[in-house]
């Protein structure tokens, strides 16, 4: 807070009331409700609930399907995060280097930021259409019988491609602005010290981008875990069957379709703990200060 503030007693409370009441009703109440439901077993016909302790959690731990979904989510998150960061960094470095058309390139590479994930998934459905999708035909040329929604691996591949396509622009914007904020003097000094462009990149530019990259790492993990919901839901057309899905999608399928409130809530709580762990990790890293400015 500011040193010189106002001393009014009621005004700040009045100002805080809208925000606090909304988060109490629509954040803390649902979160508490999820934690509570995770200890209960819901009667499928709506006749009350019975306390079962940690049973929902232990059945999660024993479930082979939950393990499979967890494994897929980890692989998916790693792939999406890595490729969207790497491709965005490549494009940002090039866009920072060119002199002519820099602004046009920026526009052409960032507009996808505003495309909704389910619409991106819908585009994926068109491009990977089993019969005439342009990308399906392209893979067929190489002898890859691409089969969206029928083949586990092919569906997973399409999910990663669409999710990366959708995420590259966000990373690109951040990397480019990070690159442009590197002082000119530093660049010139590096140019004198090191004639090789790749050497300059790894020794000077890359470390200077580390804080941006770390921030983006967290953003991308969160994106792959949660925001890809729309991509996955459209690509499997709402019927996952034997197709891959992520943990968040399973929360939705089990709770909303399967009417298993207890099991779904237990999964929610597991995800909440995961996000909390991620945030604590983020704070610890920021404290260790991997930035130079």
Partner 1 sequence: MADISLSAATPVVPRRRFRWSTVVDHAVLITGALIMFFPLLVMLQTASTPDVETMKYGPGLYFGDQLDDNFRKAMFEASGFSGANTGLSMFKNSLILGLGFAIGKIVIGMMAAYAIVYFRLRFATFAFWLIFTTLLLPLEVRILPSYEITQKLGLLNTYTGLIVPLIASATATFFFRQFFRSVPEELVEAARIDGAGPVKFFIDILVPLSQTMIAAMFIIMFVYGWNQYLWPTMITTDEGMYTLVRGIKRIVQVLQGGNEIPEYGRANVLAIIAVLPPVAIVIFFQSWFVKGLTESDK
Residue 137 Cβ vs partner 1, minimum distance, rounded to whole Å: 8
Of 133 and 244, the one with the shorter C-beta distance to partner 1 is 133
Structure tokens at 50: 């019975």
Of 10 and 142, the one with the shorter C-beta distance to partner 1 is 10
Please report whether residue 44 would count as binding partner 1 according to CB under 8 A. Answer: no
Number of C-alpha atoms within 13 angstroms, CB side, residue 175?
29
Q: What residues from 50 to 89 belong to the interface with partner 1 (CB under 8 A)?
A: 87
CA-nearest of 284, 113, 117, 111 to 214 is 284
Q: What is the largest CA-CA distance in the chain?
A: 76
Residue 58 Cβ vs partner 1, minimum distance, rounded to whole Å: 20
Residue 262 vs residues 37, 51, 68, 253: alpha-carbon distances, Å: 5, 10, 20, 13
Stretch that binds partner 1, among 66-74, 77-85, 151-159, 173-181 (CB under 8 A): 173-181
DSSP letter string over 29-80?
HHHHHHHHHTTEEE-TTSS-EEE-TTHHHHHHHH-HHHHHHHHHHHHHHHHH
Among 41, 80, 89, 95, binds partner 1 (CB under 8 A): 95
Among 5, 46, 48, 143, binds partner 1 (CB under 8 A): 5
Residue 49 vs residues 110, 176, 259: alpha-carbon distances, Å: 49, 53, 13
Please report whether residue 47 would count as binding partner 1 according to CB under 8 A. Answer: no
Please report whether residue 98 would count as binding partner 1 according to CB under 8 A. Answer: yes
Cα angle at 157 between 129 and 168, to 5 degrees? 100
Among 41, 69, 91, 209, binds partner 1 (CB under 8 A): 91
Structure tokens at 146: 């691409």
Rounded CA gap, 278 and 273, in Å?
9
Q: What residues from 10 to 39 belong to the interface with partner 1 (CB under 8 A)?
A: 11-13, 15-16, 18-20, 22-23, 25-27, 29-31, 33-34, 37
Number of residues that bind partner 1 (CB under 8 A): 100
Strand-pairing partners, residue 40, are: 51
Residue 53 Cβ vs partner 1, minimum distance, rounded to whole Å: 19
Q: What residues from 249 to 268 belong to the interface with partner 1 (CB under 8 A)?
A: 251-252, 255-256, 261, 264-265, 268
Of 3 and 284, the one with the shorter C-beta distance to partner 1 is 3
Please report whether residue 111 would count as binding partner 1 according to CB under 8 A. Answer: yes
> Which DSSP symbol is given to 112?
G
Q: What residues from 186 to 245 belong to the interface with partner 1 (CB under 8 A)?
A: 191-192, 197, 212, 215, 222, 226-227, 229-230, 233-234, 237-238
């Amino acid at each position: 807070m500011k040193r010189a503030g106002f001393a009014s007693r009621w005004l700040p409370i009045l100002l805080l009331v809208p925000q606090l009441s909304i988060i109490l009703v629509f954040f803390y109440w649902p979160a508490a409700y999820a934690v509570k439901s995770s200890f209960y077993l819901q009667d499928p016909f709506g006749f009350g609930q019975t306390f079962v302790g940690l049973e929902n959690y232990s059945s999660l731990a024993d479930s082979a399907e939950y393990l499979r979904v967890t494994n897929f989510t980890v692989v998916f998150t790693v792939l999406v995060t890595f490729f969207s960061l790497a491709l965005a960094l490549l494009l940002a470095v090039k866009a920072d280097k060119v002199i002519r058309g820099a602004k046009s390139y920026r526009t052409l590479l960032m507009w996808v930021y505003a495309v909704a994930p389910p619409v991106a998934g819908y585009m994926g459905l068109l491009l990977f259409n089993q019969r005439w999708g342009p990308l399906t035909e392209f893979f067929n040329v190489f002898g890859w019988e691409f089969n969206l929604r029928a083949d586990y691996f092919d569906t997973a591949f399409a999910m990663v491609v669409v999710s990366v396509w959708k995420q590259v622009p966000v990373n690109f914007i951040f990397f480019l602005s990070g690159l442009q904020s590197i002082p000119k003097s530093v660049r010139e000094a590096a140019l004198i010290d090191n004639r090789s462009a790749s050497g300059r990149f790894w020794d000077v530019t890359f470390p200077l981008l580390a804080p941006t990259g770390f921030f983006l790492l967290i953003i991308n993990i969160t994106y792959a875990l949660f925001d890809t919901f729309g991509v996955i839901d459209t690509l499997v057309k709402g019927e996952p069957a034997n197709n891959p899905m992520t943990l968040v999608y399973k929360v939705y399928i089990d709770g909303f379709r399967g009417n298993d409130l207890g099991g779904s809530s237990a999964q929610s709580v597991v995800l909440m703990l995961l996000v909390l762990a991620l945030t604590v990790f983020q704070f610890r890293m920021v404290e260790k200060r991997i930035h130079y400015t």
